[in-house]
A and B are shown apart, each in its own frame.
Chain A
């Protein structure tokens, strides 16, 4: 490739001057640039932003998405006044003119908190009894009780949480971040998605949640699955043993190389590199998924034997992915949509995620990785202080999430909802602010991570977002 360097420079210069060119030329250029990444030799850091906008506090993100919308009122937002008002009509001053989902045209009555809360840790943060394991790490958590989003139905709300808009076709945050920072892994994708289910109604999740939108497809999240092939098509076909498969790959590479010499097509070089990476993935993915090298005390910590697709097993995989340099690890647990039976439901779903979550934090800490791994725990929205039977409806004007590690100040609470847990009233923390703060911790100025598409410079934070400095350690 040495002789191609001037070409590459020429192409790179042009492309960076005008990234809106999405035709073949640009595609080839992206592939060419990608080559550095997959070959893993030349580039220090294969991302777009070089140097970073400021010193980073985190190198990677593990996002624990609690899909369905966990009730903040049964988890992290203690509202004694709501308990007093249990069964009474919800004051109209709270709800007038507000968007409402399934409770449309229903009588709105207060529904007291269904779980017990206690202060935890030296910080004394209020956490409900459904998270006995996580609560022990209260001094590591920064609990935000004033989160807000714009979308009240699951599907658009996830899209909003992931892309900063409800319009489809925009890149998700994992794609933005791998686009900006690249991956540190030579054998694995930079953005990995793991899913689990259980504990409540499991709302569907669309692949658009980890799509790269208008960014090049190689920034797309790759789903690692617990059943079947862990990565789509990573297993060899029946009747093709490892040796013959390698022979086929070698023959393909040799033939591609001959063709490249004849036609001067640099895209072939990329194709060869991608086949090499595919070959390595056929080894690295099974090796990643095989947790037989984990000692018993680690399995006990997480409370899993692995291989079962549980949230706990995914937490353990998340740590293994983090160790291997994966940039953005996105876990979804689908099971928080408690329209009914919120008291038992929240406990049940929490029971499925609590130990794994706490184990992940503990494990990262004992490996000294929590300091540069940002862990975020959040749903796509919260739930109403009003009853829906003995459950709660979707709610977007105030909910809770927490962050830990990666430059976050532990043992603190941020923001508050009103006395009934309806509106975030103190230090409102919008999804855009979450994005801005997350990018900031990674060394990225959210206003400067842009991509030109259809004549406009797009950002994860659109035209919004503030870095919330008090949360930073």
Chain B
């Protein structure tokens, strides 16, 4: 160990740096040291155990003190020695790590921190929040929130902005709390209410509005990744809308947040759970799922498990657990084991790993009763139909006699049949004269069956394919899956090809119809899936039957060219001389087995054949029709009820799957240790009785524990973001060491504690924030505020931000008066450009825009197609909801401009708004223009603004007067029809005025 002298030397070297900072100022580990160590050292000396070089960890005090740091003595600390090392081979961080070397200031800081005792404090978000008494402040403050904010203003030398005017406030509050603009009536009422408490009354009215829940749901659904489709591959529809309605209701009813979490994570496990709590548990089913053929269930089991861990971490805790799927977190104290232990909480969730997710039908009690009654009636009728009945048996005897007469087609085995295989296969003739292929099969082959022309002549061939125990999957084919492909069926007479007129079969695989054996195309053919292991029959009629007495030899060539051994395994060839042979066969083909049974003499039938015949007869007999109708109608009614019922994916618990640690996230690795459900070890443990396993309910209870340092902070921070445009912790999704620390830590903790102590009361929290002076400030930045605090970290003004995609739509529809404000229900389909879903397949999608009221519903209800989200949502930054989204980006693109200008939704809204302006705006143009501004922006237009619009109006009146057909053509934008008697030229001119207003930056901005 080097002597004390080197530290003095270092201090000399960096003299300037050292002296420029007050040497006795206390170094803050959280703010100054931890980020520095994380940046330069953690990559090798952090929480990731796999990478700990020399087993040195610098993120935990006890490890660091063991060898690298001597508290109070920088010169005895190897940490500094290695950083200051002359030898580049030994100097930290080494060049190979590609980490930046420490600056002089950083080294000085480290030295002083060690000198001051090298205190490690826990990361701020891991300490349980504590209520701090707010600093006293002056008259501006309305309460603790403002006190905390004012203290920061003072520190930063900022002054709070003046309060926004009342028009701005009513629009701001309305957009923030219900996501809709105020009507001009609501604005006027608020302006007219000059009694004390007017603002509070407004807030309370909005918090009580049923649209409050809709507005909050927009954000919550981003977090939980709610969508209407599966997201992978064919992106097929899934049933989730009732869960969305639950979220709206929960916010409207002000469900406490602890209960809200509990119902979603474990609603199905609650004692005496209600139907609604079960719907809430659909939360666990919101992950992306696949139905892609060839996807491996085991792989997707791992994918879904990882999805739930990542998203649960983000949604409730602001953690970035995703890193730990493959390795310990590099910066935060979370491990690979933590990740899979978290996954184990969800190991009891029933789901289809690859395929269709089965929904729960939401039937009301009457429907449930009716279905029960129908099932009972149908079952009684079925017993009758299957039971003993002398009358029906007598009728059956008569029927059999008739049918036997009508199916007297006789199939004869050929006299001398020879079979040869071009590929050299051999065959064995079995007792029933069928031929079984033996030996190594070729990829492709042609079987040639040779026979003399039967003396009675020949009109058709029958090829019967049989299963056999020696064939793969019992055959009748030789391919690995029991299938076969007959590419071409040919008949030759003494070297001359005979024409086959028609072919029919008892069954053909879809796309592999029997007719393809006689189409002359070798690339097509007949196959028989899914009738693997069953008898299948095909019939081939000659175009010109061979008459009795005709002489010569016949060759039947069964050409099987598909490859890969798709060859016939066992067959029998027979012939008939009947006239029009296929006409007799065709009607019997769907009931092949029945007619085979009929063909037996009645005393030679097996029991199974007798049963089959009876069932068939009773299924068609006029005598049984009454009973059958009853069964059929009951089934139909049941189906109708079930189809009308809403469907929803919910969580149902099953025996938990075994969860193993997957090293490097590799799902094929089965060697990992089996883990039990547990929260990340660094956050504590969940206590359960001995032998009991913690489950989703215990996880939810732990989240809702007042001692949980993260849950409340994360949530209040997100509500704050909704009301100011940025969080107190700006990294809303990362409360770990790599996230940004809170700008107002005491305020964040105050709100978190207040939230918990209020009993997790969401409306209480929101109310407190919006009543503050901080919230009521103006957002203007015309006086250089952007210079002082460009990102508005210190809140000396309100935020100003673009509306969310849903609300841009809602706003336009509300202003136009077209909005249908019904709450809840199935998702809806607004107008969408044709062909937008063309890249989807399995199945191909055709988009049918909603026709009636559903065309005018709020954006929240838009059908959320994950792979191709509706462009009006996607272009304004709504996420596809494949993953938890904590904050949408706010882009500003030309495609948004094109959408607002040209999307029929917005043009239609402009048409309706124009009519409203014409009818309610007042007598002259100026009054109407003023009305347009008041209605759209809740403020008066300036003279300058009025002039711009007046010019536009005048010019367009002129234009449309000369182009009346264009005015009429405007009508085709949207389904809404202009009432009779409206002057279309005038309406068109005002429509373009309304379009201009709807396109304003201010219209889509909350300020």
In B354-383, which residues have CB < 8 Å from any A CB? Answer: none
The one of A205, A232, A238, A270 in contact with B892, judged by C-beta atoms closer than 8 angstroms, is A270
CB distance from B835 to the nearest CB of A (A): 5
Contact A344:B898 (CB < 8 A) given known A7-B790, A267-B892: no
Complex CA gap A297/B869 in Å reads: 41
A/B interface sample: 13 pairs, CB < 8 A: A24-B890, A25-B792, A109-B565, A203-B841, A207-B867, A217-B891, A222-B895, A227-B835, A255-B1000, A259-B1002, A262-B780, A262-B942, A274-B896
Known: A195-B839, A207-B880, A267-B892. A109 touches B564 (CB 8 A): yes
Residues of chain B within 8 A of A236, CB atoms compared: 901-902
Task: Report how far A29 CA is from B790 CA in the complex, Å.
Answer: 9
Residues of A near B840 (CB, < 8 A) are 204
Bound complex: CA of A210 vs CA of B801, how far in Å? 26
Contacts of A102 in B (CB 8 A): 293-294
Alpha-carbon distance A180/B799, docked complex (angstroms): 30
B902 near A153: Cβ-Cβ < 8 Å: no
Closest B residue by C-beta to A102: B294
List the B side residues contacting A203 at CB < 8 Å: 233, 841
Q: Give the most central of A195, A232, A456: most B CB within 10 Å.
A: A232
Segment among B122-130, B459-467, B539-547, B944-952 that sits at the interface with chain A: B944-952
B894 touches A274 (CB 8 A): yes
Question: Which B residues lie within 8 Å of A233 (CB)?
Answer: 833, 871, 895, 898-899, 901-903
Known A154-B292, A233-B901; judge A227-B973 contact (CB<8 A).
Answer: no
Name the interface residues of A203-243: CB closer than 8 Å to any CB of B. 203-208, 211, 216-218, 222, 225, 227-229, 231-241, 243
Answer yes or no: A247 CB below 8 A from chain B CBs. yes
Residues of chain B lying within 8 A (CB to CB) of residue A228 = 833-835
What is the bound-complex CA distance between A393 and B323, given in angstroms? 32
**A273-300 toward B: CB 8 Å interface, digit per residue (1/0)?**
0110110011000000000000000000
Count residues of chain A with CB under 8 A from any CB of chain B. Answer: 110
With contacts A204-B842, A252-B1000, A265-B781 known, is A258 near B973, CB below 8 A? no
Residues of B close to A254: CB separation below 8 A: 948
Q: Which residue of A lies closest to B902 (CB)?
A: A233
Q: How far is the CA of A11 from the CA of B781 in the complex (A)?
A: 14
Shortest CB-to-CB span from B353 to chain A, Å, is: 13
| Count of chain A to chain B residue pairs whose CB atoms are closer than 8 Å in the complex | 330
- A-binding segment of B496-504, B764-772, B962-970: B962-970
Partner among A263, A387, A389, A455 whose Cβ is within 8 Å of the Cβ of B320:
A455
Contact residues in B for A34 (Cβ distance below 8 Å): 892
Does A55 touch B at the CB level, under 8 Å?
Answer: no
A374: min CB distance to chain B, Å: 25
Q: Is A117 an interface residue (CB 8 A)?
A: no
Q: Indicate which residue in A238, A278, A341, A394 contacts B969 across the interface (CB closer than 8 Å).
A: A238
Residues on A with beta carbons closer than 8 Å to the beta carbon of B288 = 168
A14 contacts chain B at the CB level, 8 A cutoff: yes
The answer to whether the Cβ of B734 comes within 8 Å of any Cβ in the partner chain is: yes
Closest B residue by C-beta to A29: B790
A86 within 8 A of B: yes
How far apart sit A33 and B727, CA to CA, in the bound complex (Å)?
Answer: 23
Tell me if A99 counts as interface (CB < 8 A to partner B).
yes
Interface 1/0 per residue, B179-221 and A, CB below 8 Å: 0000000000000000000000000000000000000000000
**Interface residues contributed by chain B, number (CB under 8 Å):** 127
A278 x B897 contact (CB < 8 A)? yes
Contact A24–B792 (Cβ < 8 Å): yes
A266 vs B892: C-alpha distance when bound (angstroms): 12
Q: B331 in the interface, Cβ–Cβ < 8 Å?
A: yes
Q: Are B481 and A106 in contact (CB under 8 A)?
A: yes
Q: Are A234 and B898 in contact (CB under 8 A)?
A: yes
Shortest CB distance B419–A (Å): 22
| Residues on the B chain within 8 Å of A30, using CB | 891
Residue B992, interface by CB 8 Å: yes
Contact A248 B995 (CB under 8 A): yes
Q: Is the CB of A390 within 8 A of B563?
A: yes
- The listed residue with most A CB atoms (<10 A of its CB), out of B726, B902, B972, is B902
Q: Which residues of A contact B951 (CB under 8 A)?
A: 251
B 879-915 binary contact with A (CB < 8 Å = 1; else 0): 0101100010111111111110111100100000000
Indicate if the CB atoms of A239 and B956 lie closer than 8 Å.
Answer: no
The contact string, 1 if C-beta is below 8 Å from chain A, for chain B 758-802, is: 000000000000000000000111110111001111000001111
Task: Tell me, rounded to whole Å, the shortest Cβ–Cβ distance linking A423 to chain B.
Answer: 16
In the assembly, what is the distance between CA of A37 and CA of B963, in Å?
38
Asked whether A412 is an interface residue with its Cβ less than 8 Å from the other chain, the reply is no
Given contacts A109-B564, A274-B892, contact A239 B481 (CB under 8 A): no
Q: How far is the CA of A156 from the CA of B296 in the complex (A)?
A: 12
Tell me, in angstroms, the Cα distance from A274 to B733 when the chains sit together: 30
Across the A-B interface, give the 10 residue pairs with the lowest CB-CB distance, nearest first. A455-B738, A25-B791, A239-B970, A264-B782, A101-B294, A206-B867, A23-B726, A239-B969, A217-B891, A278-B897
List 20 additional A-B contacts (Cβ < 8 Å) besides A259-B1000, A263-B780.
A18-B740, A155-B290, A168-B288, A168-B882, A204-B842, A218-B893, A232-B871, A232-B895, A235-B902, A238-B970, A241-B966, A247-B992, A249-B901, A256-B1001, A267-B1005, A278-B901, A387-B564, A389-B566, A455-B739, A456-B320
Q: Is B29 an interface residue (CB 8 A)?
A: no
Q: Is B523 in contact with chain A by the CB < 8 A criterion? A: yes
B8 at interface by CB-CB < 8 Å: no
Instruction: Report whether A204 and B833 are in contact in the complex, using a CB–CB cutoff of 8 Å.
Output: no
What is the 8 Å Cβ interface bit string for chain B, positions 821-858, against chain A (1 contact, 0 not)? 00000000000011110111110000000000000000
